[in-house]
Amino acid sequence: MSGAAITSARLDLMLTELRLPTVKRLAAGLCAQSDREGWPGQRLLEALLEHEMNEREVRRIERHRAESGLSVDKRLSSFDFAAVPTVSKAQVMALGEGQEWLDRGANVLLFGPPGVGKSHLVSAIGNALIDAGRRVLFTRCSELVQRLQAARRDLRLPQELAKLDRFDLLILDDLSYVRRDQAETSVLFELISERYERKSLAITANTPFSQWGDVFVDPAMTLAAVDRLVHHATILEMNVESYRRRAAQADQKASQSKHSSATKSGSGKSS
């Protein structure tokens, strides 16, 4: 084995030990280029470390995306804001870029009947925040309630709530589907109180506040939960017709008009 080969093998070992996979991958190529082009030592070091840092950031974001439970295809770019005139695109885009509201532990509440795009929009905000380097967890509200109830039974509720603390934003999808029997233990209220003014929540619901009584133990608790949630919140009202239904109707119209123009051209008439 030549001296150069030994040095290179030693470097590989050290870079593995130091957990610098990108430097390890690029070192041979960049060192050769540096020798050829006579780079100052600092420039070589800078190039190697810059690559390592960039790839580290990419891997971090990939990990955050994988742990988030978000559908990757629900994006702000694929959301048709024209379909929901009650929602300000600028305001939503700001939430997606926003660091400031997360730092304050402010909330987002999305209301509207089924099919209007609540889950899509809240997921799109979540994906944008992950791109911006934040940590997000998307969960169905009823599933999280079940998980927290199990934790409470095992006397692990504080630990389970603490685990959720690592997320800058916790998305609770479909609050209205939490069942009455799940409400009795009030774990949802504890979660809301625990995060109040510290860590953000985003909640979608197809019923207005006035019907949230079914989700909490009693009217006083419902009121206290709503108070905490709305104290620092952006509320997005999406009271439009179901996007799914409208899309289905548009498809039907398109195929009808295609059919009728086909019959027209078939009969030799032009318009």
Number of residues that bind Mg ion (CB under 5 A): 1
Binding of ligand ADP at residue 177 (CB under 6 A)? no
**Among Mg ion, ligand ADP, none, partner that 120 touches (CB below 5 to 8 angstroms by kind):** ligand ADP
Stretch in the footprint of ligand ADP (CB under 6 A) among 40-48, 115-123, 189-197, 226-234: 115-123
What x/- string results for residues 212 through 251 when contact with ligand ADP is judged by CB under 6 A?
-------------------------------xx-------
Distance CA 109, CA 95 (A): 12
Residue 83 interacting entry, from ligand ADP, Mg ion, none, C-beta within 5 to 8 Å by type: ligand ADP
Nearest to 80 by CA among 219, 187, 255, 240: 240
117 counts as binding ligand ADP under rule CB under 6 A? yes
Work out which of 114, 133, 208, 219 binds ligand ADP, going by CB under 6 A: 114
For residues 113 to 132, the per-residue mask of contacts with Mg ion, x marking binding by CB under 5 A and - elsewhere, is ------x-------------
Can residue 119 be called a binding residue for ligand ADP (CB under 6 A)? yes
CA distance 271 to 256: 17
Contacts of 183 (CB under 8 A, 6+ apart): 214, 215, 216, 217
Task: Compute how many other C-beta atoms are within 10 angstroms of the C-beta atom of residue 262.
Answer: 10
Between 80 and 227, name the residue whose CB sits nearer to Mg ion: 80
CB 213, min distance to ligand ADP, A: 22
Helical H segments across 98-186, by residue range: 100-103, 118-131, 141-153, 157-164, 180-183
* Rounded Cα gap, residues 217 and 144, in angstroms: 17
Q: In what order do the strands lie in the sheet with 169-173?
A: 136-140, 169-173, 200-205, 107-111, 233-237
Site string for ligand ADP, 26-65 (x = CB under 6 A): ----------------------------------------
Cβ atoms within 10 Å of 122's Cβ, excluding its own: 27
Token pair 């009030």: residue: 186
80 binds ligand ADP (CB under 6 A): yes
